[in-house]
């Protein structure tokens, strides 16, 4: 496992202090309904509903351009990087790199709408032939998938794990609000959970920062402890609302792939 500096994660932390919280409601278990009617399967397309272009520049390296040509947003894909032909030591490795636009802390800040593209730079080895980038698997918002099952299942696994991470943050906030924790208690309890679950490490296979929602919550509450501890409850409610919203997005994307998931109502306090 590799670890990222806290300052890097803080760059994507929530700017919630300026927003008023919505009223909390009791939690109710519910099935997340599908957003779209049944989608076609990959075999229904005469040509794949996406386009990949590779731009090579001797000075600036290689750019990978992926364009969505399907009617709904493209939410995730697995990029395949084929190594340089000579296989010399130190060359680019053959890797599969997972990108999910439902997770705003990742490489894709939002899904790719129909007709639009995402552009990424690819590792470049000076004096050698560039590695060849391509797309090995894709997932759209309505659940359409293209690619081998083992790679599609990586996206499923990432979304399940991401949902679990958001739930850990939700559990911390709900417990604190129910028991009336002060800022010191939130930070101590949150830090203990970060250590228990190895927050800040990186799952390389799924390209996922471990427990990043929990870490973002703890860092915001730590800031509140320093700057305005009397406002801790209000901050906790706003963080809880935001965590529910983000988890709903992940769960909806997961439901589109594997069927409805059982969840809880957004903005509730157990």
| Confidence (pLDDT) at 200 | 87
Structure tokens at 97: 């790199």
| Confidence (pLDDT) at 133 | 81
Structure tokens at 51: 């386009």
Is residue 52 left, alpha or beta, with left meaning phi > 0 and alpha meaning psi from -120 to 50? Answer: beta
Is residue 267 left, alpha or beta, with left meaning phi > 0 and alpha meaning psi from -120 to 50? Answer: left
| Confidence (pLDDT) at 107 | 80
| Confidence (pLDDT) at 13 | 47
Summarize the confidence of residues 59-64 as an average pLDDT: 76
246: three-class secondary structure by DSSP: helix
Residue 240 has pLDDT above 90, yes or no: yes
Residue 144 has pLDDT above 50, yes or no: yes
Summarize the confidence of residues 256-263 as an average pLDDT: 72
| Confidence (pLDDT) at 189 | 97
Residue 15 has pLDDT above 70, yes or no: no
Q: What average pLDDT does the chain have?
A: 82
Summarize the confidence of residues 204-224 as an average pLDDT: 94
- Rounded Cα distance, 240 and 76, in Å: 26
pLDDT one-digit tens code per residue, 172-187: 999 999 999 999 999 9
- Rounded Cα distance, 241 and 235, in Å: 10
Cα three-residue angle 254-250-38, rounded to 5 degrees:
40
pLDDT one-digit tens code per residue, 20-61: 444 444 454 455 555 655 666 767 788 899 999 988 776 766
Phi and psi for 180 in degrees, rounded to 5? 70, 40
- Rounded Cα distance, 196 and 190, in Å: 10
Is the CB of residue 66 less than 8 Å from the CB of residue 135? yes
| Confidence (pLDDT) at 180 | 97
Structure tokens at 201: 């490490």
- Rounded Cα distance, 210 and 203, in Å: 7
Name the residue with higher pLDDT: 36 or 7: 36
| Confidence (pLDDT) at 235 | 97
Summarize the confidence of residues 251-257 as an average pLDDT: 95
Q: Say which CATH topology domain 42-147 has.
A: Immunoglobulin-like (2.60.40)
Residue 3 has pLDDT above 80, yes or no: no
**Burial state string for 33-46 with b = 16 or more CB within 10 A and e = fewer than 16:** eeeeeebeeeeeee
Structure tokens at 67: 């364009």
164: three-class secondary structure by DSSP: helix
Range list for CATH 2.60.40 in the chain? 42-147
Name the pTM for this structure: 0.79
Name the residue with higher pLDDT: 259 or 240: 240
Residue 8 has pLDDT above 50, yes or no: no
**Centroid of chain to Cα 212:** 10
103: three-class secondary structure by DSSP: coil
86: three-class secondary structure by DSSP: coil
Q: How many CB atoms lie within 10 A of CB 203?
A: 15
- Rounded Cα distance, 14 and 244, in Å: 13
Residue 265 has pLDDT above 60, yes or no: no
pLDDT one-digit tens code per residue, 67-87: 999 999 999 999 988 766 655
**Centroid of chain to Cα 16:** 19
Is the CB of residue 72 less than 8 Å from the CB of residue 115? no
**Centroid of chain to Cα 39:** 23
Residue 14 has pLDDT above 50, yes or no: no
């Amino acid at each position: 496992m590799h670890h990222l500096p806290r300052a890097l994660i803080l760059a994507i932390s929530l700017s919630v202090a300026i927003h008023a919280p919505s009223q909390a409601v009791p939690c109710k278990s519910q099935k997340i309904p599908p957003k779209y009617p049944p989608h076609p399967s990959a075999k229904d397309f005469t040509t794949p509903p996406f386009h990949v272009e590779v731009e090579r520049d001797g000075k600036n390296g290689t750019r990978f351009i992926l364009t969505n040509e399907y009617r709904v947003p493209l939410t995730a894909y697995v990029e395949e990087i084929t190594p340089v032909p000579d296989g010399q030591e130190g060359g680019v490795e053959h890797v599969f790199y997972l990108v999910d636009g439902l997770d705003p802390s990742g490489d894709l800040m939002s899904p790719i709408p129909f007709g639009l593209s995402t552009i990424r730079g690819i590792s470049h080895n000076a004096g050698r032939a560039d590695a060849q980038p391509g797309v090995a698997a894709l997932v759209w918002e309505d659940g359409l998938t293209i690619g081998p099952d083992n790679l599609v299942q990586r996206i499923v696994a990432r979304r399940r794990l991401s949902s679990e991470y958001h739930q850990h943050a939700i559990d911390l906030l709900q417990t604190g609000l129910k028991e009336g924790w002060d800022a010191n208690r939130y930070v101590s309890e949150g830090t203990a959970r970060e250590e228990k679950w190895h927050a800040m490490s990186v799952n390389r296979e799924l390209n996922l920062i471990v427990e990043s929602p929990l870490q973002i919550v703890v860092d915001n509450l730590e800031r509140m402890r320093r700057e305005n501890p009397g406002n801790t409850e209000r901050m906790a409610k706003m963080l809880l609302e935001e965590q529910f919203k983000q988890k709903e997005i992940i769960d909806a994307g997961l439901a589109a792939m594997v069927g409805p998931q059982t969840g809880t109502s957004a903005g509730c306090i157990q």
